Amino acid sequence: MKKILVCALCLVVVAGIAFAGGSRGGDTDGGLHLVVATDATWPPMEYVDEKSKEIIGFDIDLMKAVADAGGFTVEFKNTAWDGIFAGLAAGKYDAIISSVTITDERKKEMDFSKAYINAGQILIVPSSMRGVSVLADMEGMTVGAQIGTTGSFEVEKVEGVDLKTYDEIGLAFEDLVVGRIDGVVADTPVAADFALQSESYKGKLKIVGDPFTEEYYGVCVEKGNTEVLDAVNAGLDKVLGTAKYENIEKKWLR
């Protein structure tokens, strides 16, 4: 029995070493294999599908397309947000794609790929509304936003548009659906979640225009890891601005 336990322990150790190698840009079949962390709790960007239990979303589809275009393979590791950056620094995975905003402060601790989306503020209106594409088109109407957010500040800037603030953005969408307000301003992923993915609101709301603030997302890699960064950027170069990217955007964010 003791011999069996020792053998089992050896197998566990060997497996652990093999996994660690794979998660550091491993080369198991002649090509680069990356383990990518994501906090799968923020639909429609990244979340766990209730039926399949698979991680799905915009970021996931994009990373798969980037890997395919860049000539490497990828697997995803669901990781809690509060430890996701520390795990990257500790070498538990090769990269992070998890709706991470590129900031100067974060650039001091890690390297970022080129930006792959502007997830800034965007306008949501009833699906029946016509002739509206920017906030200025909402003159004489009431637009909701979460109090104290960039969205509320942007609405305040537009003359002739009345702002109604909410403690929680979901309440603004409820009022929009029943006609108490005429539009909502929110982060692009949040807008897509309520307007496109929510079973309660699907078909009743639509996103119009383009983001009118800047909040760019990028893929994070460990500081100085040029092998992984170059591979990701090479893949992004072949995906961004193509029909493949547009299809992923339409599927999750439009």
State the CB neighbour count (10 A cutoff) for residue 33: 20
Tell me, yes or no, whether 126 and 98 share the same domain: no
Tell me, yes or no, whether 222 and 109 share the same domain: yes
Looking at residue 14, what is its pLDDT?
A: 36
Looking at residue 12, what is its pLDDT?
A: 37
The Cα 47–Cα 55 span in angstroms is 5
Looking at residue 197, what is its pLDDT?
A: 83
| pLDDT tens per residue across span 8-35 | 333 333 333 333 334 456 655 568 999 9
Looking at residue 207, what is its pLDDT?
A: 95
Tell me, yes or no, whether 15 and 107 share the same domain: yes
Tell me, yes or no, whether 135 and 112 share the same domain: no
Give a yes or no: residue 183 inside a domain: yes
Which residues of the chain carry a pLDDT beneath 50? 1-23
Give a yes or no: residue 4 inside a domain: no
| pLDDT tens per residue across span 31-50 | 899 999 999 998 999 999 99
Looking at residue 214, what is its pLDDT?
A: 93
The Cα 247–Cα 249 span in angstroms is 5
- This prediction's pTM: 0.80
Tell me, yes or no, whether 127 and 111 share the same domain: no
Looking at residue 254, what is its pLDDT?
A: 80
Give the CATH number, domain containing residue 93: 3.40.190.10
How many distinct structural domains can be found in the chain? 2
Spatial CA neighbour of 94 closest among 217, 245, 219: 219
The parent domain of residue 180 ranges over 121-208
Amino acid at 152: S
Looking at residue 6, what is its pLDDT?
A: 36
Give a yes or no: residue 21 inside a domain: yes
Give a yes or no: residue 127 inside a domain: yes
Tell me, yes or no, whether 41 and 91 share the same domain: yes
Looking at residue 11, what is its pLDDT?
A: 38
Looking at residue 125, what is its pLDDT?
A: 98
Tell me, yes or no, whether 127 and 75 share the same domain: no
Handedness of CA 228, 230, 235, 241 (dihedral sign): positive
Tell me, yes or no, whether 103 and 36 share the same domain: yes
Looking at residue 202, what is its pLDDT?
A: 87
Looking at residue 24, what is its pLDDT?
A: 53
